[in-house]
Structure 1
């Protein structure tokens, strides 16, 4: 029950597009969901983004709310799924950064370097989106799923040499894209030949 307003009423009103009911739902559940997500992300900005996305998703799917048996577990499940998606994206981004950054230049934990690190991640993800579908898939299978070249070849039904060529082309493109669009010196970027082994 939401402080004198039962969940059934809130669900029905939200489903009809009642923004006041939705605002009540948002106000009631925002802080607990925020606290829950913050335990995992430890970042106010990222936590807020995940929780806001959860409420957007709930609003977009509001017509299904009357079918929801228990509102609280539903809200936590939607938020948890978005949190997991966010964590997977972070894992992929960090993997890409490890691949395209030299081991000899660790990022320091200063505000300036954190901003540069975020810009670097955003630029690398932008570069990946410009890859052809096949190259992007191979690149992400290697970096996100950490599959070997043999495993990728088997899953896609192509030869290992084709996987190697496509991965090499993808890495080269990402490196050159980041150099061109980020003004990053060639010394900061590496070829990733070790990723091809």
Structure 2
């Protein structure tokens, strides 16, 4: 029905605004390869690009009533995708700052009076207990990053995961460790963890 490079795009947008899923599928199929290439160049991650493209078209669909008023649909798609890609990169940068801060606390390189009150032996025993409760992949990623000192890129190559996925796993592990410590230790060093997350999230 809608072929040849969306020859009647205005009509197509009207159909989408009315909830026509076939019309939306045509729009999606036409723009997805273009948007994907654009986003992949920004993020340098195929996995992230796929997720961002899906989110972009989900937003377009949920806001479809406004489509008849869009003069340049292609540009509209690019702007949404660009904004979502930038949001994703900001999140990764924020999470990386959090990880860097917490790695310093693990290694004892950060001077923090609250953490110093926690006996190191019990501290690391609790962390090990928390890690044992996690899936094997999360344990592996954490140990490769924290204990082997590998970069996110090195870990992603070894495990066949995207760099952003490695980052997300590490953030998930740290959240779990914080929660575990809160439940299993009444020592005042927990305040260090809580304050670190409040400042950086």
Q: TM-score band, normalised by the shorter chain?
A: 0.5 to 0.7
3-state SS, counterpart of residue 69 of structure 1: coil
Distance 1:125 1:52, change over 3 A: farther
- TM-score normalized by the length of structure 1: 0.60
Distance 1:65 1:127, change over 3 A: farther
TM-superposition CA deviations, 1:18-47 (whole Å, max 9, x none): 001100000000001000011121111111
Aligned to 2:94: 92
Instruction: Find 2:47's aligned residue among 40, 45, 48.
Output: 45
Whole-angstrom CA distance in 1 between matches of 2:5 and 2:58: 23
- TM-score normalized by the length of structure 2: 0.59
Map 1:38-77; keep pairs closer than 5 Å: 38-77=40-79
Aligned to 1:111: 158
Aligned to 2:142: none
Q: Does 1:170 align with 2:176?
A: no
Q: Say which one has the larger Rg.
A: 2
CA contact (8 A) 1:50 1:79 kept: yes
TM-superposition CA deviations, 1:53-105 (whole Å, max 9, x none): 00000000001101111111111111111111111111111111111114786
TM-superposition CA deviations, 1:102-161 (whole Å, max 9, x none): 478632404349666541123346789xxxxxxxxxxxxxxxxxxxxxxxxxxxxxxxxx
How many residues are treated as equivalent by the alignment? 140
Aligned to 1:6: 8
CA contact (8 A) 2:95 2:171 kept: yes
Higher relative contact order (CA 8 A, sep 6+): 2
CA contact (8 A) 2:35 2:53 kept: yes
Aligned to 1:16: 18
Aligned to 1:81: 83
CA contact (8 A) 1:2 1:28 kept: no
Whole-angstrom CA distance in 1 between matches of 2:40 and 2:166: 23
Instruction: Find 1:120's aligned residue among 160, 163, 170.
Output: 170
CA contact (8 A) 2:39 2:85 kept: yes
3-state SS, counterpart of residue 107 of structure 1: coil
Whole-angstrom CA distance in 2 between matches of 1:74 and 1:51: 13
